Structure 1
Amino acid sequence: MAGRYRKSRMWAPEGFFECEGLGLRWLAGARASGGPRVVDVFGWGADHLDIERVSSCAPTPLAAHDFGVALAHMHDAGASCFGAAPDGYEGTCYFGPLQDPVPMDRGDWPDAVSYFGEGRLLPMVELGVRRGELSAADVDLTRRVVEALPDLMGRAASDRPARVHGDLWSGNVMWSDDSGACEAVLIDPAAHGGHREEDLAMLHLFGMPFLDEILDGYESAHPLKAGWRDRLTLWQLYPIAGHCVFFGGGYVSEYRSMCRSLL
């Protein structure tokens, strides 16, 4: 039996570890149709999550390409709607670091534009205002971006809901050779029904080894809509707004610059 690792935090928000555990299982459900490996979940409580302990290795170009293919298949597994929680979860969803996760709105948005504007960007920026990191002017700036979303998304606005990891920066992609060959293993999701370009934008945000190979693999399994590279900044607005909430500082000016670059 695989070794176990306990992720824990006293006084975690209600449902936090249940949401993560069910999110991991939901993502892992795509494995049957070619999705990536996801850490096994053994159980959870109010203050902990017990998962598989994964040994790490250095990534390889082949493993990165294979991960891209698998990620496309995971996205293709879909979700019931934009804003859907992982199957079986009825509580509040969360986004952010273990020490300071914030609520991530659930909903049943009819399209990617309303989901991203109403369900993600504006709630995060308004939280930043309540925490004193962002201002009313930032809400106005964000509303201008939201009004422009139909044009900014272009053809990607017609995409169906994807089964997304939701926090797919490089630190949440482990590389392991436990199975005998190097492969990607997903951890620490904010899983939900979203847009496939969200995860791809997160992979670009803080650097990712063999990113070109990942993208080549992805497009071999699911070609992306024209102009997707031009939309990376758009999808990165949400995590950067989150970093304004969590950390403030230079992320505030970065968020403002990103918004202005889109207008």
Structure 2
Amino acid sequence: MPVSAAIINIIKQKLNVDIKAASPVSGGDINEVYRLQSTGGDYIIKINNRYKFPEMFKREAEGLAAIKATKAIGVPDIIFDEEVGDESFLLMEWIDAGQSTAYASQALGQQLAQMHRTATPRFGFATDNYMGSLHQSNKQHDSWANFFIAERLLPMVKMAVDNHELSQTDMRRFEDLYNKLPDLFIEEAPSLIHGDLWGGNYLISSDGKPYLIDPAVSYSNREFDIAMTTLFGGFDNAFYEAYNAEFPLQPGWQKRLKLWNLYPLLVHVNLFGGSYAQQVRQNLAAFV
């Protein structure tokens, strides 16, 4: 069995089940992911090194719980998370995936918009979390511009310059952007966002219900989620039409997609390097 005996024993004791099989699940770059078949049903388990990614699964569980609390869109039920030896793990309900349909895509757009209606007075979140494998700071701010600069762009630009992925010239161009940023968008109340909404972080169940997975939540400008959906594909016109019908985006939102995508692109620069630095420069050039 690929899952350690210590983890299996904890699950058996807590849930009073026997584990019959553990099958690897594709798509986990940071964690080992398995489908567990048990006498009590199927689960999905994510496992990683507790010292390399401290409290990653606690933060993920908090994000899923925050989304679930909106009662707007589905997330997998959290069974429990725990640490044992050098490992930490998160156990959740297994969801049988189905095929995406026009109806499911519309439901995803509509329900995401309903989730985005969950607002709070300040930008940020109660705890920091992770964006991929990188630490994500969520210190609270009164304005989106201040939050986006201080907690999103500044740490990633510094890391990229320190790693020689971006230059001092690039950093000065970002400084020009910081001065312009408050005038580039229309301020709204902070919305609860997924925070890492690319095509691999939602699924459609076998009965056609949308689920969000692997969140990096915060209370932010909701256009950030919409921008991320455009980076790597996986979302069709029905999704955007349903979203706008439920909670119309501010005028000019399409022009700001490259602005908000600076952050996930910077994350990719710091994780993978390569051509992502050039994409950052291209997006930046649209605004400074």
* TM superposition score normalised by structure 1: 0.88
Match of 1:17 in 2: 57
The answer to whether 1:259 aligns with 2:284 is yes
Q: 1:242 to 1:227 in 2, by over 3 A?
A: same
Amino acid at match of 2:43: R
Give the whole-Å Cα distance in 1 for the aligned partners of 2:219 and 2:201.
Answer: 18
* Per-residue CA distance 1:194-221 (angstroms, 9 max, x = gap): 1100110111110024x21111111111
The answer to whether 1:37 aligns with 2:66 is no
Report 1:188-199 matches (<5 A): 188-199=214-225
Amino acid at match of 1:173: Y
Amino acid at match of 1:37: G
Report 1:156-195 matches (<5 A): 158-177=187-206, 181-195=207-221
Contact 1:197 1:228 in 2 (8 A): yes
Residues 128-137 or 144-153, more deviating: 128-137
Of the three residues 210, 230, 238, the one matched with 2:263 is: 238
Amino acid at match of 2:190: P
Report 1:99-178 matches (<5 A): 101-153=133-185, 155=186, 158-177=187-206
Contact 1:95 1:103 in 2 (8 A): yes
* Per-residue CA distance 1:117-152 (angstroms, 9 max, x = gap): 122111111122223322222221211112111222
Contact 2:42 2:94 in 1 (8 A): yes
Amino acid at match of 2:222: R
Of the three residues 35, 47, 57, the one matched with 1:8 is: 47
* Per-residue CA distance 1:93-126 (angstroms, 9 max, x = gap): 2111xxxx11111212111111111221111111
Contact 1:79 1:162 in 2 (8 A): yes
Amino acid at match of 2:138: R
The answer to whether 1:78 aligns with 2:119 is yes
Residues 128-137 or 19-28, more deviating: 128-137
Give the whole-Å Cα distance in 2 for the aligned partners of 1:134 and 1:43.
Answer: 40
The alignment of Structure 1 onto Structure 2 pairs a total of residues equal to 244
Match of 2:129 in 1: 93
Give the whole-Å Cα distance in 1 for the aligned partners of 2:167 and 2:245.
Answer: 43
Match of 1:227 in 2: 252
- Structure 1's unaligned 5+ residue stretches are none
SS at match of 2:98: coil
Give the whole-Å Cα distance in 1 for the aligned partners of 2:60 and 2:163.
Answer: 25
Aligned CA-pair RMSD: 1.4
Where is the helix percentage greater, Structure 1 or Structure 2? Answer: 1
Pick the structure with greater CA Rg: 2
The higher relative CO (CA closer than 8 Å, separation ≥ 6) is in 1
Give the whole-Å Cα distance in 2 for the aligned partners of 1:60 and 1:67.
Answer: 10
Give the whole-Å Cα distance in 2 for the aligned partners of 1:56 and 1:131.
Answer: 39
Amino acid at match of 2:287: L
Q: 1:113 to 1:63 in 2, by over 3 A?
A: same
Contact 1:80 1:193 in 2 (8 A): no
- Structure 2's unaligned 5+ residue stretches are 1-39
* TM superposition score normalised by structure 2: 0.81
Amino acid at match of 2:48: R
Give the whole-Å Cα distance in 2 for the aligned partners of 1:2 and 1:106.
Answer: 36
The answer to whether 1:207 aligns with 2:233 is yes
Contact 1:173 1:187 in 2 (8 A): yes
Q: 1:15 to 1:183 in 2, by over 3 A?
A: same
